[in-house]
């Protein structure tokens, strides 16, 4: 029998994949490597290769901040702060810093047992579970013990995985392909299983076990949500579909998947976290349904027939106060708009028109409304439902093709969204500054970026839109995730997502995207979104060219 898989084989495979720009070669390299692994090892390797250290939906992250890693590197290599800073300026990548400093490490660790994948997993699980007082010291000890045993290349990929910044060009799609190649499983089956499992590690394990064909949607294992593509106007939407479609109100709340099996009901957020305890009314409202199900919909703060401001929900989600108090301030309604599973039958592959029929049937015995919707076709009809939605206090429309299937985790063109006239972008904060005057003691100016392939490109800076309380909380958060502190300014780990509104987009040399938002203002902090959900540079370019058309003609 083969011994446990050494970590250095993963590090070498990643190093080789990183070195080539050919996607095909990256895939082949990883496939060749994965092939030799047992299912549990493939699970750990696939997860680490994508810079993840915990299962999707898990609230317990093993990811480690820069300062913990820097301290560990210093302790292990004997490098001074100055040497570390200089190395960071040279590489701009903490993994490469680890590699360089480990190569020139003065004292070599003799007789250290080589690291195995299993060792790294054990360490990750310690990181995931270390919380509360003394956690920082415990986490540092775990990281240090890993780095102590690592060769330079291993150190590089350990640090990359622990910070979630791989920069190998091995995006999840390529890894999915590598998994399918490694275990000779049909690409389409693997893609489908990936959508259902929503986790690259679980996918690798399942495929390695030869069980890819057995993957089913099941209660209590949430799947990624279907998303809507943004469109700029009613006319664009009418042209896009050119047929009768459903125009549904776009509710401004928290996207939720509600699962039922036997007598138990659970609610999951867009990030697939279990949020059941925050919303007992949703569970209660569905108690009349006697079948198993998975529903998709939006939880909206709602009272006396009208939606309330979204902000009311944030306190509740963060459980800042007792539940009774929160529920009194922000009563909610769950508006259901889709059904993925009924009894034991998967419905995702059926047309939306059929899913809606089934949804109506199953909700007959419940106190849960279906999302308001109209059948429309022309631009004028879409416009009129849009205005109606806005007048009722909703955000706009999600327009859906009655023939479309439910595509998990994808922004399919089967669903498109129309918000208010002005566009908004979801962006991530990459740097921040202290404010002026009465805001001199709080971090209130945020530089934000959009995605461009694997990179982040800045598009603007915003300092309005948040309440004093939100700014206070943001200050604490940004201090915690600071990468580099330049005094008045700091760079931060890109994880806080903002939805920003703006008047227009201009070309600009000020930001590295080449564009700048004019009069950006923060509409809200999107705690429900993560780095992968932010808008792209392509989207910025699209808005820029569409507004140019408007101005010119």
Give contact residues for ligand AMP (rule: CB under 6 A): 227-228, 248, 250-251, 255, 298, 337, 371, 398, 417
Please state whether beta strands 411-418 and 396-400 pair in parallel, antiparallel, or not at all (unpaired).
Answer: antiparallel
User: Residues 484, 491: contact at Cβ < 8 Å?
Assistant: yes
DSSP string across 478-514 = HHHTEEEE-SSEEEE-S--EEEEE-SEEEE-SSSTTS
User: Hey, what are 51's tokens?
Assistant: 């810079």
Query: Is 479 among the residues known to form the active site?
Result: no
Question: Cβ(87)–Cβ(152) under 8 Å?
Answer: no
CB of 534 to ligand AMP, least distance (A): 10
Two tokens at 120? 């790294």
Considering only CA atoms, give the Rg of the chain. Answer: 25
335 neighbors 286 (Cβ within 8 angstroms) = no
Q: How far is 240 from 367, CA to CA, in rounded Å? A: 35
- Shortest distance, CB of residue 455 to ligand AMP, whole angstroms? 22
Cα separation, 499 vs 103, in Å, equals 43
**Residue with token string 């939407």:** 237
Q: What is the nearest approach in angstroms of ligand AMP to the Cβ of residue 44?
A: 31
The least CB distance from residue 376 to ligand AMP, in Å, is: 14
Q: Which CB sits closer to ligand AMP, 193 or 398?
A: 398
Nearer CB in complex with ligand AMP: 66/225: 225
Question: How many CA atoms are closer than 13 Å to the CA of 294, on its beta-carbon side?
Answer: 22
CB of 33 or CB of 337, closer to ligand AMP: 337
Residue closest to ligand AMP (Cβ): 255
Going by the DSSP 8-state scheme, the letter that residue 233 receives in this structure is -
- Are the C-beta atoms of residues 143 and 126 closer than 8 Å to each other? no
- Cα atoms found within 13 Å of the Cα of residue 213, Cβ hemisphere only: 5
Nearer to ligand AMP, 20 or 530 (CB): 530
Min dist. Cβ of residue 533 to ligand AMP (A) = 8
Q: Are 402 and 354 in contact (CB under 8 A)?
A: no
- Considering the complex, state which of residue 337 and residue 502 has its C-beta at the smaller distance from ligand AMP: 337
Instruction: Please tell me the distance from the alpha carbon of residue 340 to that of residue 225, in angstroms, as a whole number.
Output: 10
Closer by beta carbon to ligand AMP, 227 or else 366 = 227
Nearer to ligand AMP, 177 or 338 (CB): 338
Query: Of these residues, 26, 105, 144, 250, which one is catalytic?
Result: 250
Closest approach, Cβ 247 to ligand AMP, in A, equals 9
Shortest distance (Å) from residue 233 CB to ligand AMP: 16
Cβ–Cβ under 8 Å, residues 102 and 150: yes
d(CA 408, CA 257): 12
Residue 184 CB neighbours (<10 A): 10
Q: How far is the CB of 432 from ligand AMP (least distance, A)?
A: 23
What's the min distance (Å) between Cβ of 303 and ligand AMP? Answer: 18
Using the minimum distance from each CB to ligand AMP, give the nearer residue, 176 or 528: 528
What SS3 class is residue 409? coil
Q: Using H for helix, E for strand and C for coil, what is the string for 124-175?
A: HHHHHHCCCCCHHHHHHHHHHHHHHHCCHHHHHHHHHHHHCCCCCCCCHHHH
Identify which of 405, 412, 430, 429 has the alpha carbon closest to the alpha carbon of residue 500. 429
| Nearest-approach distance from CB 427 to ligand AMP, in angstroms | 12
Kindly state the tokens that stand for 329: 């301030």
Question: In whole angstroms, what is the distance from residue 335 CA to residue 302 CA?
Answer: 10
- Please answer whether residues 427 and 450 qualify as being in contact, where contact means their C-beta atoms are separated by less than 8 angstroms: yes
CA separation for the pair 21, 49 (Å, rounded): 17
Quick one: 255 or 539, whose CB is closer to ligand AMP?
Answer: 255
The smaller minimum CB distance to ligand AMP, of residues 340 and 371, is found at 371
Integer Cα distance of 508 and 515 in angstroms = 5
Show which residues are catalytic.
250
């Amino acid at each position: 029998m083969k011994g446990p898989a050494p970590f250095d084989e993963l590090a070498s495979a990643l190093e080789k994949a990183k070195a080539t720009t050919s996607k095909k070669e990256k895939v082949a390299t990883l496939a060749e490597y994965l092939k030799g692994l047992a299912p549990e090892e493939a699970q750990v390797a696939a997860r680490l290769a994508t810079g993840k250290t915990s299962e999707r939906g898990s609230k317990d992250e093993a990811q480690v901040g820069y300062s913990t890693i820097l301290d560990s590197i210093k302790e292990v290599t004997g490098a001074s702060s100055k040497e570390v800073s200089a190395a960071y300026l040279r590489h701009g990548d903490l993994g490469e810093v680890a590699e360089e400093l480990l190569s020139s490490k003065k004292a070599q660790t003799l007789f250290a047992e080589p690291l195995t994948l299993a060792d790294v997993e054990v360490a990750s699980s310690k990181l995931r579970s270390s919380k509360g007082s003394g956690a920082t010291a415990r986490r540092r000890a775990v990281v240090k013990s890993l780095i102590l045993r690592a060769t330079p290349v291993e150190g590089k990929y350990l640090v990359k995985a622990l910070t979630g910044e791989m920069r190998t060009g091995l995006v999840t799609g390529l890894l999915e392909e590598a998994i399918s190649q490694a275990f000779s499983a049909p690409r389409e089956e693997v893609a489908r299983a990936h959508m259902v499992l929503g986790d690259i590690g679980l996918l690798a394990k399942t495929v390695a076990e030869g069980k890819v064909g057995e993957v089913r949607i099941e209660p209590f294992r949430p799947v990624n949500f279907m998303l809507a593509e943004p469109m700029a106007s009613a006319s664009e939407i009418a042209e896009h579909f050119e047929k009768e479609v459903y125009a549904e109100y776009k509710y401004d709340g928290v996207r939720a998947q509600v699962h039922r099996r036997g007598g138990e009901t659970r609610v999951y957020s867009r990030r697939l976290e279990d949020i059941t305890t925050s919303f007992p009314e949703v569970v209660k409202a569905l108690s009349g349904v006697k079948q198993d199900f998975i529903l998709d919909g939006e939880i909206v703060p709602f009272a006396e027939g009208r939606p309330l401001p979204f902000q009311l929900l944030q306190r509740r989600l963060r459980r800042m106060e007792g539940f009774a108090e929160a529920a009194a301030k922000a009563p909610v309604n769950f508006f259901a708009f889709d059904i993925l599973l009924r009894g034991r039958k998967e419905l995702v592959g059926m047309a939306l028109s059929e899913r809606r029929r089934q949804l109506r049937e199953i909700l007959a015995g419940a106190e849960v409304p279906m999302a308001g919707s109209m059948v429309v076709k022309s631009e004028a009809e879409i416009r009129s439902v849009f205005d109606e939605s806005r007048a009722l206090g909703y955000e706009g429309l999600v327009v859906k093709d009655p023939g479309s299937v439910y595509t998990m985790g994808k922004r399919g063109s089967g669903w498109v969204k129309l918000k208010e006239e002005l566009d908004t972008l979801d962006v991530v904060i990459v740097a921040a500054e202290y404010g002026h005057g009465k805001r001199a003691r709080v971090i209130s100016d945020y530089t934000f970026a959009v995605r461009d392939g694997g990179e982040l490109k800045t598009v603007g800076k915003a300092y309005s839109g948040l309440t004093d309380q939100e700014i206070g909380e943001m200050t604490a958060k940004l201090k915690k995730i600071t990468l580099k502190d330049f005094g008045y300014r700091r760079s931060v780990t890109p994880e806080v997502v903002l939805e920003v509104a703006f008047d227009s987009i201009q070309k600009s040399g000020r930001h590295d995207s080449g564009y700048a938002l004019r009069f950006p203002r923060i509409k809200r902090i999107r705690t429900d979104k993560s780095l992968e959900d932010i808008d792209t540079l392509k989207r910025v370019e699209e808005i820029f060219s569409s507004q140019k058309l408007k101005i010119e003609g």
